[in-house]
Structure formats: C-alpha cells, structure tokens
C-alpha cells in the first residue's frame, strides 16, 4: 500500500464479505479507530467483490469512521465496485 499518510489508518478488506461478517468487521475497525488519532481511513478494497453486502460494509465503515472524526477513502476499487457504489447513490459518501 505504500507508506502511511500522517494521521491515517490503513485497512485491507478482502472478500467475499458475508452479511454475518459485518458485526465483526465493524467491531475490529472501531477498535482500531478508538484512540488512534487518525483523521483518514484508507481502505484497500482491491480484493472485495462488487455486491450489495460489500457496499453495505463500506457504508457502515464510513459511518463508524465519521463518528470517530475520520474520513474514508477507498483504494483499489474495481470498476464494478465503483459502478455499484455510484448506482446505489453513494459515490459522494464512498470516494475512491
């Protein structure tokens, strides 16, 4: 992924992501965010399938980050995932 940016937290998310995985994924992300001082969360989503569960997971991650004062950026999103995010009207929320 390269050297981390100042005040950033890097996450690698891989799939497939099942709906049952969402609570655990969010608990791990929230655990890493608390006390981290991060202002930006960079999510490597290059190995995430383009489906509704993945977009749901990313939207929840964005909400958790926002509650901790962080922004979220996707890295390595496939064209299909980017198109699905846009189709769902979340391109302004989940930016690449």
Count of other CB atoms within 10 angstroms of residue 32: 15
Is 1 contained in some domain? Answer: no
Residue 26 pLDDT exceeds 60: yes
How confident is residue 2, by pLDDT bands cut at 50, 70 and 90? low
pTM above 0.75, yes or no: yes
Is 94 contained in some domain? Answer: no
CA dihedral angle for residue 22, residue 51, residue 90, residue 3, rounded to 10 degrees: 70
Is 95 contained in some domain? Answer: no
Between CA 74 and CA 16 the distance in angstroms is 17
Is 68 contained in some domain? Answer: yes
Overall domain count for the chain: 1
Across-strand partners of 75?
Answer: 44
Residue 69 pLDDT exceeds 90: no
The pLDDT of residue 16: 87
Is 37 contained in some domain? Answer: yes
| 40-50: average pLDDT | 92
Is 51 contained in some domain? Answer: yes
The pLDDT of residue 15: 80
Residues, the chain, total?
Answer: 96
Between CA 5 and CA 1 the distance in angstroms is 11
Q: Could you give the residue ranges of the DSSP H alpha helices within the chain? A: 22-33, 52-67, 79-87
How confident is residue 23, by pLDDT bands cut at 50, 70 and 90? very high
CATH number at residue 28: 3.30.750.24
Domain carrying residue 27: 8-87
Residue 4 pLDDT exceeds 60: no
């Amino acid at each position: 992924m390269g050297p981390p940016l100042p005040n950033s937290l890097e996450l690698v998310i891989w799939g497939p992501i099942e709906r049952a995985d969402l609570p655990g994924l969010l608990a791990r992300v929230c655990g890493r965010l608390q006390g981290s001082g991060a202002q930006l969360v960079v999510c490597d989503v290059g190995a995430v399938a383009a489906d509704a569960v993945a977009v749901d997971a990313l939207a929840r991650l964005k909400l958790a980050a926002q509650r901790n004062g962080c922004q979220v950026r996707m890295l390595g999103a496939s064209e299909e995932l980017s198109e699905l995010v846009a189709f769902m009207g979340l391109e302004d929320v989940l930016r690449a």
